[in-house]
Amino acid sequence: MAIVGLLTVSIVGLYAAVAKRQREAKTIKEMECIREAVLGYYRNFLVLPSPDSGYVVPIDDLELPPTARTDEIYTGKYYAYVASNVGETLKVDGQSIGNTALVLISSGVNLEFEEENSDLADGEYTQDGTTANFDDILIYLSANELASSIAWSREIDEEVSVLNQAGRLLAENDDDGDGFVDEDPGGENCGVEDLPGNCDAITHWDLVTGVQSLVNGGLISNPDHLVDPWGTEYCWDSVNHEFYSAGPNKTDEGCGGDDICP
């Protein structure tokens, strides 16, 4: 009987340990799904969604089901969702993850946020606990990871810079308004014979109507410079005299919505 009892205790203990690891794996999978949703949101809007009241996952912004707010597998307690947008620098295990970053925490089976996680407002959090009883699960998005996810923004900056320089060149050097850059040598025929040069020193911004006007003026020949990373032609802001991208939704919203403007 003693042997049977020992075996029973061992089997029960082993089963409990296996079940705990399975719950942990499922919780981590849920948290990774939230992390990916946040990353997708950041790629679209270049900002992290703020938490709902009480450091709760913003399911509406992330278009997630209500179950994404709570750690159903463990306890049904809310995940802790902490986001900083060019604000306070967040730290995990004493190391900075940047001032634009996300921390997501499960309190584990004991229902308590432990060690640095016990104060969600101080910007310092624990991923690897120092005690045997620590069972919080923490994942995060660092500023470097977020920056890497929008590497296309550098492409937009570079292309918009090229377009804006070409736009200014056209506006300053098309004296006769034919859509081509004049290169007048000067003299009495300046601005009349459509030769090289700018004679009147007047910037005619109305000559820039979009990327096609730059093509017509012979200033842009590479078609890859005319469209943004989503394949949409760059838009022209005739008030501020700058080009911009219509953003991931491919809809020109006049530098509103998800448009990406200088």
pLDDT for position 190: 64
Q: What is the pLDDT of residue 233?
A: 95
Domain membership flag for residue 74: yes
Phi, psi (degrees; rounded to nearest 5) at 132: -65, -25
Confidence (pLDDT) at 57: 97
| Domain co-membership, 40 together with 124 | yes
β-pair type (101-106, 124-125):
unpaired
Q: Which helix (H) or strand (E) holds 244?
A: strand 242-244
Domain check: are 218 and 134 in the same one? no
In a domain, 84, yes or no: yes
Q: Is residue 256 part of a domain?
A: no
pLDDT for res 22: 72
**Quick one: pLDDT at residue 217?**
82
What's the token pair of residue 13? 């203990």
Residues 138 and 157 in one domain: no
89 and 39 in a single domain? The answer is: yes
**In a shared domain, residues 167 and 139:** no
CB of 120 closer than 8 Å to CB of 194: no
- Please list, in sequence order, all residues whose beta carbon lies within 8 angstroms of the beta carbon of residue 150, skipping any fewer than 6 positions away: 42, 43, 46
Domain end, chosen from 126, 149, 172, is at 149
What are the 10-residue block averages of pLDDT along the chain, 262 residues in total?
58 54 86 95 90 95 94 88 95 96 94 95 96 93 91 86 92 73 62 58 85 88 86 94 91 87 82
**CA gap 71, 52 in Å, rounded:** 16
Is pTM beyond 0.85? Reply is: no
How many angstroms separate the CA atoms of 148 and 34, rounded? 18
Residue 81 forms part of a structural domain: yes
State whether 125 and 158 are in the same domain. Answer: no
Full domain range(s) for residue 176: 152-244
Indicate whether 34 and 130 sit together in one domain. yes
